Amino acid sequence: MLEYITLPDDVLPPVAPYSHAVRAGDLLFITGQLAEDPATGKVVKGSIEEQTRRVMDNLKLVLDHAGSGFDRIAMARIFVTDFRVFPTVNEIYASYFPGDRLPCRTTVGVIALAGLGDVEIDLVAYCGE
């Protein structure tokens, strides 16, 4: 059975037709997040540091709403438009995970992202006991 999780529009308005997360059994699949400002719904056009923090904070909003956290992440996928920002994204990304509990991960360089952001991250969390 699937459970579709969408945050209220005043928390993180969707920019396309999707659920913020879908729970399938013991797994929670979280839609890729951009550096969207929850207050305006617009993608932040700041530095890669600002964008990455906003992406991670948006992921935290979805995780919190779904009753999960960064300590439950099994897999992450990061998409960046410029691999020169890789070290900066890595540093900020890692700071959101407790201790050495880092998930599996793939990082992909892309030409462009929806909303014209520079970084997007999606997650798969384990929700079993």
| Mutual angle of helices 48-65 and 86-94, in 10-degree steps | 30
The residue range of the domain holding 102 is 2-126
Asked whether the beta carbons of 51 and 44 are under 8 A apart, the reply is yes
Per-residue confidence (pLDDT) for residue 1, from 0 to 100 = 87
More confident residue, 101 or 81: 81
Looking up residue 122, the CATH number of its domain turns out to be 3.30.1330.40
pLDDT of res. 62: 94
Strands 73-80 and 104-109, bridge-based pairing: parallel
Mean pLDDT in residue range 59-76: 95
Q: Give the count of domains, the chain.
A: 1
Mean pLDDT of 43-70: 94
pLDDT at position 53 over 80: yes
pTM: 0.94
